[in-house]
């Protein structure tokens, strides 16, 4: 009997020992899981359309349906977290994205800026969806109903606008500066790359400060009169970022005198404005070709003086800002207007630094 009891006790102790080991191992695994879980935080934020959204971060799977956000996330090094993007990313940003985001062409695309494919995006099981300001409200509501966190990024402050493409801003320069900073910092936080986001914003502000210092003696009547020509005879007027970009670079947007937002212009208006410089984004080569060769433009001052300039892709003189619009674009533009104050060598040096630090590749563009 005593032998049986002893045997029983030995068995119990053995089981307890194994159970203890299993528990110990389970605790390690559990504490490891808790550690990962502990690294996750929850934030309640207000997006740029004024919506309150709760997000658990750092997120691992991002459906990026806003092109500037796609670029910023790439600059932060978050490419592997992006599971899909919008259909026209190459048109909206440029073919350079293939160089700085290897594999982007293999990513699924799921609709447009204004009409994302909610079903296709949901099937990818994202932790976060990033939407453009012009996204239709039905799609936003569907993501809310599905319980998928979705934030709207417009790259400007002052909240939701009645027309996303034609905002009415009380202070455009402040709105775009604050809006871009919010986007960089928020995307940095949500992707778990806050330090890189801080570094990116610091770089952009350093470039802006340099331009301010170099152009501090330019008076209002000395500012260069500039026009931005886009496809389909459209241009950026008042309350678009590129107007702020021109002002910071020592120019003035002539179209802002008569046009607000992003609208069509006439040849008669262009002659009335008679800009000293015309800038065309290099994604619109056909516009550059037309203005420099078509007889109807030949009496414009900018054409007669050979001042129609093709803006390279990396300067991004867009209606809404990108981080490199501020970090590099304002600098490049100031060089074009005042080459005696800001040298091509300095612009190229900053571009090399930006590409190496934020795209992880060499800068292969041209300043002139």
Residue at a domain's end among 192, 223, 255:
192
* Residue 21 pLDDT > 70: no
What is the model's pLDDT at position 111?
Answer: 97
Pairing state between β 150-153 and 224-229: unpaired
What's the CATH code of the domain at 291?
Answer: 3.40.50.1980
Token pair, residue 5, equals 């009891």
Instruction: Identify whether 4 is part of a domain.
Output: no
140 and 237 together in one domain = no
Summary mean pLDDT of the chain? 90
How far is CA 195 from each of CA 160, 186, 262, rounded to the nearest angstrom?
Answer: 29, 12, 35
What pLDDT does residue 39 have? 82
- pLDDT at residue 17 greater than cutoff 80: no
Amino acid 165: pLDDT: 83
Residue 8 has pLDDT above 80, yes or no: no
What does the pLDDT look like over 265-292, one tens digit per residue? 999 999 999 999 999 999 899 999 999 9
pLDDT single digits (tens) 216-264? 999 999 999 999 999 999 999 999 999 999 999 999 999 998 999 999 9
Residue range 134-148: average pLDDT? 96
> Who wins on pLDDT, 159 or 267?
267
pTM for the model stands at: 0.87
Name beta bridge partners: 262.
236
| Domain presence at residue 170 | yes
| pLDDT exceeds 80 at position 33 | no
Tell whether 359 is covered by a domain. Answer: no
Residue 98 to residues 4, 210, 254, 258, 265, Cα–Cα distance (Å): 75, 30, 35, 38, 33
Whether 225 and 320 share a structural domain: yes
Is residue 42 scored above 50 in pLDDT?
yes
Kindly state whether residue 180 falls inside one of the protein's structural domains: yes
Work out the number of other CB atoms within 10 angstroms of the CB of residue 18: 10
Check whether residue 188 and residue 223 sit in a common domain.
no
Helical H segments across the chain, by residue range: 2-39, 67-76, 89-92, 97-100, 118-123, 137-146, 172-190, 194-214, 241-248, 267-273, 285-293, 301-304, 323-324, 330-337, 344-354
Distance CA 54, CA 132 (A): 18
Higher pLDDT, 67 or 13: 67
pLDDT mean over 201-213:
98
- The confidence score (pLDDT) of residue 14 equals 38
Q: Can you give the residue range of the structural domain that contains 320?
A: 208-343
Q: For 176-195, what is each residue's pLDDT tens digit?
A: 999 999 999 999 999 999 99
pLDDT band at residue 28, thresholds of 50, 70 and 90? very low
d(CA 157, CA 89): 24
CA 278/CA 297 separation, integer angstroms: 11
């Amino acid at each position: 009997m005593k032998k049986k009891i002893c045997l029983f006790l030995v068995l119990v102790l053995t089981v307890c020992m194994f159970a203890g080991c299993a528990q110990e191992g389970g605790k390690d695994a559990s504490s490891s899981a808790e550690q990962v879980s502990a690294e996750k935080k929850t934030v309640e934020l207000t997006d740029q359309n004024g919506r309150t959204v709760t997000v658990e971060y750092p997120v691992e799977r991002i459906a990026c349906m806003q092109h500037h956000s796609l670029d910023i996330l790439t600059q932060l090094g978050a490419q592997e977290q992006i599971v899909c993007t919008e259909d026209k990313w190459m048109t909206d940003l440029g073919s350079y994205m293939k160089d700085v985001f290897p594999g982007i062409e293999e990513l699924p695309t799921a609709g447009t800026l204004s009409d994302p494919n909610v079903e296709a995006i949901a099937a990818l099981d994202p932790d976060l969806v990033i939407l453009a300001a012009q996204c239709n409200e039905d799609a936003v509501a569907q993501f809310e109903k599905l319980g998928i966190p979705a934030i709207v990024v417009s790259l400007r402050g002052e909240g939701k606008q009645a027309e996303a493409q034609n905002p009415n801003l009380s202070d455009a320069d402040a709105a775009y500066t604050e809006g871009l900073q919010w986007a960089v910092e928020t995307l940095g936080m949500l992707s778990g790359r806050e330090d890189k986001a801080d570094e990116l914003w610091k770089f952009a502000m350093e470039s802006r400060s340099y331009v301010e210092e170099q152009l501090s003696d330019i008076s209002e009547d000395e500012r260069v009169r500039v026009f931005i020509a886009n496809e389909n005879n459209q241009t950026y007027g008042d309350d678009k970022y590129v107007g702020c970009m021109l002002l910071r670079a020592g120019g003035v947007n002539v179209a802002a005198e008569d046009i607000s937002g992003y609208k069509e212009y006439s040849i008669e208006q262009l002659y009335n404005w008679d800009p000293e410089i015309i800038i065309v984004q290099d994604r619109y080569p056909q516009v550059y070709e037309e203005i420099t060769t078509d007889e109807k433009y030949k009496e414009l001052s900018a054409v007669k003086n050979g001042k129609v300039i093709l803006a390279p892709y990396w300067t991004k003189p867009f209606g809404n800002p990108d981080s490199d619009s501020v970090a590099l674009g304002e600098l490049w533009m100031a060089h074009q207007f005042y080459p005696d104050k800001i040298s091509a060598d300095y612009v190229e040096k900053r571009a090399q630094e930006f590409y190496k630090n934020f795209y992880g590749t060499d800068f292969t563009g041209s300043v002139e």
